[in-house]
Amino acid sequence: MTCIEFQDILGDMIDGETDAQHAAHLSSCSSCSELVSDLRAIASGAKLLCADSEPSPRVWANIQRTLEAEGIIRPATQPGATLFRQRRPWSSVWLATGAAVVLLALAAFFYTNHTTRNQQVAQTQPQSLGASADDMELLSHVSPAARASYADDLETVNAFIRDAEDNVAQNPNDDEARHFLVQAYQERAMVYASAMDRSMP
């Protein structure tokens, strides 16, 4: 049995109707096993919720009459038969299953978004961290027209410094790596010198 085939009988599975084939798949598939476990937990919660807030039969009857009057559903053909009384006993389970699917979809969505966002933060954080308090202070003194250009230059040299520092960390005995770092800092000093020249009255 495949996962797709198993998901076709999920409703019965939640209601407790299992056979050997289903059980075999559940024992061998952790994904479906976890799904069933989650759905059962939600379904049992939903049953409690339904029991607490089940509308009275009169409410269901009124809704049915309204739907019939508006032609949305056909009138009941059998006397005493009502649409809502024909609900299968496990309809609340299906409701719960739907809710679970929605919840899982939402969870997946938020998880994906959260992961992506974390990855984005991880990627952008060095840049934001690269702009030190000194950088921000310096930029605040530069004219607005030139600020973006200096911010860009600072970002560039800070990236240079970060890579050079990493290189030194990886090759602590490498003179070239240290020279790289010195050059990176010289570039930063140059940006500072120019920005300070510009910010002078």
Partner 1 sequence: MVTKERIGQIAVVLAACVTVWAADQAKREFKYSAGPKARLSILNAYGQISVKPSTTNQVIVIAAPYSDKVQVDGTQNDNRIALQSRLLDGATQVTGRVDYEVEVPSDTSVTLHSFDGPIHAEQLEGDVTVECDTAVVELRDLAGGHVHVNTLDGPVTLTNINNGHVEITSVGGDVTLNSVTGPFVEVTSAKGRINYSGDFGYTGNYKLTSHTGDIEAVVPAYASFDVSAKSVRGDVQNDFPLTGRQQTATPTTFERGRSFVGTAGKAASSVIIRTFSGKIRLKRR
CA distance 129 to 75: 68
Residue 145 interacts with partner 1 (CB under 8 A): yes or no: yes
CA distance 191 to 200: 14
Q: For partner 1, which residue of 153, 178, 185, 199 counts as binding (CB under 8 A)? A: 153
CB 164, min distance to partner 1, A = 8
Residue 165 interacts with partner 1 (CB under 8 A): yes or no: no
CB 7, min distance to partner 1, A = 45
CB 171, min distance to partner 1, A = 8
Residue 127 interacts with partner 1 (CB under 8 A): yes or no: no
Judge whether 63 and 84 are in contact, CB under 8 Å. Answer: yes
Token reading at 149: 């250009």
Give the interface size with partner 1 as a residue count (CB under 8 A). 23
Measured over all CA atoms, what is the biggest interatomic distance in the chain, rounded to whole angstroms? Answer: 95
CB atoms within 10 A of CB 112: 10
Q: For partner 1, which residue of 64, 82, 156, 199 counts as binding (CB under 8 A)? A: 156
Which span (52-60, 73-81, 107-115, 152-160) binds partner 1, by CB under 8 A?
A: 152-160
Contacts for 176-184: CB closer than 8 Å, 24+ residues apart: 184/157, 184/160
Which span (17-25, 27-35, 132-140, 189-197) binds partner 1, by CB under 8 A?
A: 189-197
Residue 34 interacts with partner 1 (CB under 8 A): yes or no: no
- Of 157, 188, 154, 183, whose CA–CA distance to 168 is shortest? 183
Residue 159 interacts with partner 1 (CB under 8 A): yes or no: yes
Residue 169 interacts with partner 1 (CB under 8 A): yes or no: no
Question: In Å, how far from its chain's centre is CA 118?
Answer: 10
Report phi then psi at 104, rounded to 5. Answer: -65, -40
CA distance 39 to 25: 16
Q: For partner 1, which residue of 8, 17, 134, 163 counts as binding (CB under 8 A)? A: 163
Give the residues lining the site for partner 1 (CB under 8 A).
145-146, 149, 152-153, 156-157, 159-160, 163-164, 167, 174, 176, 180, 183-184, 186-187, 190-191, 194, 198
